[in-house]
Amino acid sequence: MSDLPPRTALLRACRERDRSCDGLFFQAVTTTGIFCRPSCPARPARAEHLQFYPTAAAALQAGFRPCLRCRPLEPAAPPPEWAAALLARVDADPTRRITDADLRQAGLVPATVRRWFQATYGLTFQAYVRARRLGAAFTALQQGQSLDATIGEHDWESHAAFRSAFTQAVGRPPGTARHGEVMRLGWIESPLGLLAAGVTDAAVWLLEFADRRLLPAQVATLRQRSGLPLLPGEHPLLEALREQLADWFAGTRRDFDLPLAAPGSPFQERVWAALRQIPYGQTRTYAELAAALGKPGAARAVGRANGLNRLAILIPCHRVVAADGGLGGYGGGLWRKLRLLETEGARPLEHGHTSAAEPCRPCLR
């Protein structure tokens, strides 16, 4: 609850069926056991019967089932018009600051903007803009622009402010940018929610669901393993990844032909290599994977390595299931694992379900 707006604001959004709050939180009705989007057209429940959750996964884990009217597990609605306009404004000129005063002048409430960006991208709007400015500045320095020109053209108040922000984000002073590589971070929309991705000129290093709790730790490990600064920005490999993921979710692609970088311990790397050998549409148990590695007693260790995989879908850890036929574990949420397997036709719906959007407890065991 600490990550949510005040309860009065949550209740007001549900009462007004505010679509701009879809994705910011979910409402759950204790009397029916159902959870919904804030904009759900169903008759609103009494306030004392409502609980609120920051993610659909949290509502599922609390024992609520998804609403059949608003379908909160279905692909998220497009960004609200104001958010799309802000994103376009930043993309058009990532070198410029956009202050809270600028937002108010555009008729926006800074707190609402902050919450939407925090829920969607995992950082506030101001942090998003600042990161994009740093990324643009890094690119300019790499292309040979002088430090003075970069500071002036990217709207920094002073040399000291730019050096401090750059060094904190990149881990080294701006003067070294011309001789260094950077990892570009971007976001990818998918039918199962937003994905965070990280690429260099050579390979894809990160693909993870943005709401996964382990993501910050994965990013920290990635920074340590790669030795590179991580900055938001676009890259041709990010666009190629978007296109191939869209084809995969549409069922027109089975394999990915993108270069991957997955450094880890020797055992982790063996597990991740073995995962890539599981054919599309098939599954293996943790024990079977351990046996294939010559470690028949290492099923738990295989499970831990799966959980530390930083390349969801590309290294298909979702294809490993429990020995009893249950889903086992999945860091991105068991409901996502079920949907990923069904996308490949690897796991038929059970117990009479007609949609993976509403799996029952036996299906999620």
pLDDT digit string, tens, across residues 277-323: 999 999 999 999 999 999 988 999 999 999 899 999 999 999 999 88
DSSP 175: G
Per-residue confidence at 356, pLDDT binned at 50, 70, 90?
very low
Instruction: Among 33-37, 138-142, 354-358, name the most confident range.
Output: 33-37
Q: Are strands 34-36 and 65-66 parallel, antiparallel or unpaired?
A: parallel
Nearest to 327 by CA among 315, 337, 314, 336: 337
| pLDDT at 364 exceeding the cut of 50 | no
- Mean pLDDT in residue range 154-177: 57
Is 294 in the same domain as 315? yes
pTM for this one?
Answer: 0.61
Averaged confidence pLDDT in the chain: 80
Last residue of a domain, one of 216, 250, 284: 250
Last residue of a domain, one of 179, 214, 235: 179
Nearest to 134 by CA among 172, 99, 80: 172
At residue 349, the pLDDT reads 41
Is 198 in the same domain as 174? no
| Residues 71-100: tens digit of each pLDDT | 887 655 567 888 888 888 887 877 778 889
What the block records as the tokens of 204 is 């894809």
CATH of the domain at 17: 3.40.10.10
Is 273 in the same domain as 212? no
What the block records as the tokens of 140 is 């300019």
At residue 167, the pLDDT reads 60
In a domain? residue 32: yes
- CA contacts within 13 A on the Cβ side of 170: 27
The C-alpha atoms of residue 108 and residue 8 are separated, in whole angstroms, by: 20
| pLDDT at 363 exceeding the cut of 50 | no
Which residues form the catalytic set? Answer: 36, 317
In a domain? residue 261: no
Domain of residue 194 covers 183-250
- Mean pLDDT in residue range 21-42: 87
Residues found in the chain:
365
Nearest to 152 by CA among 137, 131, 168, 167: 137
| Residues 96-137: tens digit of each pLDDT | 788 899 999 988 888 888 888 876 766 788 878 777 777 666
Is 156 in the same domain as 143? yes
The C-alpha atoms of residue 165 and residue 339 are separated, in whole angstroms, by: 41
At residue 35, the pLDDT reads 92
Q: 214 exposed, middle or buried (CB, 10 Å; 0-12, 13-18, 19+)?
A: middle
Is 241 in the same domain as 287? no
Percent residues over pLDDT 90 in the chain: 28
The C-alpha atoms of residue 342 and residue 358 are separated, in whole angstroms, by: 13
DSSP 80: P
At residue 347, the pLDDT reads 58
In a domain? residue 257: no
At residue 1, the pLDDT reads 43
Is 21 in the same domain as 92? no
In a domain? residue 86: yes
The C-alpha atoms of residue 147 and residue 90 are separated, in whole angstroms, by: 22
- Can you point out the beta strands (E) in 47-161? 50-53, 65-66
Domain count of the fold of the chain: 4
In a domain? residue 217: yes
The C-alpha atoms of residue 63 and residue 271 are separated, in whole angstroms, by: 33
Per-residue confidence at 204, pLDDT binned at 50, 70, 90?
very high
Let me know: does 235 contact 138? Beta carbons within 8 Å. no
In a domain? residue 129: yes
More confident residue, 176 or 291: 291
Share in percent of the chain as helix, strand, coil (round to 5): 45, 10, 45
The C-alpha atoms of residue 10 and residue 1 are separated, in whole angstroms, by: 11
At residue 205, the pLDDT reads 94
| pLDDT at 203 exceeding the cut of 50 | yes
